[in-house]
Structure 1
Amino acid sequence: MSSERNDLVAKARLAAKGAYAPYSGFHVGAALAFEDGSVVTGANVENASYGLSLCAETVAVSKVLSEGARGKLVAVAVAGGKPGERTPIVTPCGRCRQVLHELAQLRGADPVIWCAGDEDVLEMRLSELLPNAFGPAALD
């Protein structure tokens, strides 16, 4: 595994430790890397009204956009699971794929996505995770 991938996956795993997941017990962390070298992380935040819960990727993207950052998104790492249990590869849900696409399209990016489990990391581009995506260009 490359050092860049190792570092970003480690940041996603660390972010997952801050998750608020009292209902599912499934902690997820996301780390977003930008062209300027900055990294923004997020963790899932559950709510008793399940539909109001926020995924880790959405939390991280919200932090980026609410702070006015608009840099080129180059990589995303997602990791998670139930603490103390073996975890298979974790991928962004459909909603998060769309949220990541919106952010990536601000700078015409197709970031690499690293989906981590305990032992394996799946690597693919966002365009592979969300082919034929609806985005800002569709509204022009």
Structure 2
Amino acid sequence: MIKVLDLKYEEYSQWEDLSDQDLIVINKAKEARNSAYANYSNFKVGAALLLDNGKILTGNNQENAAYPSGLCAERTAIFYTIANYPSAKIIKMAVVAGKDDNSSIPVSPCGACRQVLIEYEFRQKMPIEFLFTGMKGKVIKFNQCADLLPFSFNESAL
């Protein structure tokens, strides 16, 4: 039997077409990218989370000479948020990535980050909007992180 997976997302060719709230979160992610520690790859990533209490928290990638010891911006932001605001819910997250200020290719999260996003979406029992972009250009928006990782592993499998 062949089944078809229907994946829905929005694509914005201009940032001006985004909502004010989306722009605020993207710009916070862009700011966070500036202080990423990416001395080895020179690939900087910033993330920003909007919480249900109105706070916007950020994170960025943190590299290490022992490559597996680093951490992506998405997980840096999520782990900080959950450690410091355990009862807050994440409404949306934006990620801005690229080697330089002219980067225009939207960069989606890695598999490990997708799994963490799914875990917290499942945990809070409400979707997390997810936006990703380069430093300029096209923006991709998912209404829920579950769409980023179909057939994800979760606690129901344990």
TM-score, structure 2 normalization: 0.82
Shift of 1:134: 1.5
Task: Using the aligned pairs only, state the percent identity.
Answer: 37
Quote how far apart the aligned CAs of 1:85 are.
3.6
Measure, in 1, the Cα distance between the counterparts of 2:125 and 2:157: 14
Identify the residue that residue 30 of structure 1 maps to in structure 2: 47
Q: What is the one-letter code of the residue matched to 2:157?
A: A
Equivalent residue pairs, number: 139
* Distance in 1 between residues matched to 2:56 and 2:64, nearest whole Å: 26
CA contact (8 A) 2:52 2:91 kept: yes
Higher mean Cα deviation, 68-77 or 8-17? 68-77
- CA deviations on 1:37-58 (whole Å, 9 max, x unpaired) are 1221100000111111100011
Larger radius of gyration: 2
* CA deviation map 1:65-86 (0-9, x unaligned): 2224232221110001112443
Match of 2:127 among 76, 99, 110: 110
Q: Please, what is the CA RMSD of the aligned residues?
A: 1.4
Q: Which amino acid aligns with 2:141?
A: E
- Unaligned 5+ residue runs, structure 2? 1-17
Task: Give the alignment partner of residue 122 of structure 1, picking from 136, 140, 154.
Answer: 140
Unaligned runs of 5+ in 1: none
AA of the residue aligned to 1:54? L
Superposition misfits of 4+ residues, deviation over 6 angstroms: none
- Mapping 1:35-114, distance limit 5 Å: 35-114=52-131
Q: Which has the higher contact order (CA 8 A, sep 6+)?
A: 2
CA distance in 2, matches of 1:122, 1:116: 7
The answer to whether structure 1 residue 138 and structure 2 residue 157 are counterparts is yes
- Determine helix, strand or coil for the equivalent of 1:76: strand
